[in-house]
Amino acid sequence: QSALTQPPSASGSPGQSVTISCTGTSSDVGGYNYVSWYQQHPGKVPKLMIYEVNKRPSGVPDRFSGSKSGNTASLTVSGLQAEDEADYYCSSYVGSNNWVFGGGTKLTVL
Amino acid sequence: QVQLQESGPGLVKPSQTLSLTCTVSGGSIRTDNYYWSWIRQPPGKGLEWIGYIYYSGNTYFNPSLKSRVAISLDTSKNHFSLKLTSVTAADTAVYYCARETTSYIAFDIWGQGTTVTVSS
């Protein structure tokens, strides 16, 4: 399985919205509603932000939202805050009890 | 609150076997709600799923690593382990253990990670 494709970087000013894409194929992103997103601050552990495309675990602000269209999933961060600056990784189930991650996107808050 | 903690050697010689253990506290590893996973992150790079084990002992691996990976479970010690054989410098990474939950179908709890360097 190949890694999912994410843009290496994204940026936005405080208060703005930014969307990060995650492109796969019909065998992963397009084939299952099991896309999740993880936030990782430098030197820290990844944190689950979105699961099953658009669901938020308890404690994750509703500024974070997820969606999917065809083979591309997206993470939108609204009302950007300084603490949102981090790396973001998407992940998708690919069937047969296998998973694949994206290459990661560095989000900068200007 | 369930917590995961990795342990094992931080330095492994090329061609040898990398062995790590993940100890689960605050909950039992012997439950049908979770898959116990290993994920790694090479320096400055992205995440790579290695594989996971179910409480029944069934294991599932990334096809690219399948020939070199083994994951086992010790319910008496409430931990699970990773073995990666014939390591090279490309296996240098932070290794995380994580829990995949059938409730979320995602990796909801992660260990702190342990750095493993492959070098002679």
A27-83 pLDDT, tens digit per residue, is: 999 999 999 999 999 999 999 999 999 999 999 999 999 999 999 999 999 999 999
Q: What is the mean pLDDT of chain B?
A: 96
The whole-angstrom distance between A17's CA and the closest CA on chain B is 24
Query: B67 in helix, strand or coil?
Result: helix
Instruction: Give the Å distances, CA to CA, from B88 to B62, B68, B84.
Output: 17, 12, 10
Question: Looking at the complex, does the CB of residue B47 fall below 8 Å from at least one CB of chain A?
Answer: yes
Residues 6+ apart with CB under 8 A from A56: A49, A50, A62, A64, A65
Answer with the residue of higher pLDDT: A46 or A1: A46
Residues 6+ apart with CB under 8 A from A16: A80
Do B22 and B113 meet the contact criterion of CB atoms below 8 Å apart?
Answer: no
Q: Please say if the pLDDT value at position A110 is more than 90.
A: yes
Q: Please say if the pLDDT value at position A2 is more than 90.
A: no
**What would the 3-class secondary structure string for chain A be?**
CCCEECCCEEEECCCCCEEEEEECCCCCCCCCCCEEEEEECCCCCCEEEEECCCECCCCCCCCEEEEEECCEEEEEECCCCHHHCEEEEEEEEEECCEEEEECCEEEEEC
pLDDT of residue B31: 87
Q: What is the band of B102 on the pLDDT scale with cuts at 50, 70, 90? A: confident
Give contacts of B108 with chain A, Cβ < 8 Å: 48, 51, 57
Answer with the residue of higher pLDDT: A3 or B5: B5
State which H helix or E strand residue B15 sits in. Answer: none
State which H helix or E strand residue A101 sits in. Answer: strand A98-101
Mean pLDDT of A1-23: 95
Residue contact A91–B107, C-beta within 8 A: yes
pLDDT of residue B103: 85
Task: Indicate which of A55, A87, A92, A97 best probes the interface with B, i.e. most B CBs within 10 Å of its own CB.
Answer: A97
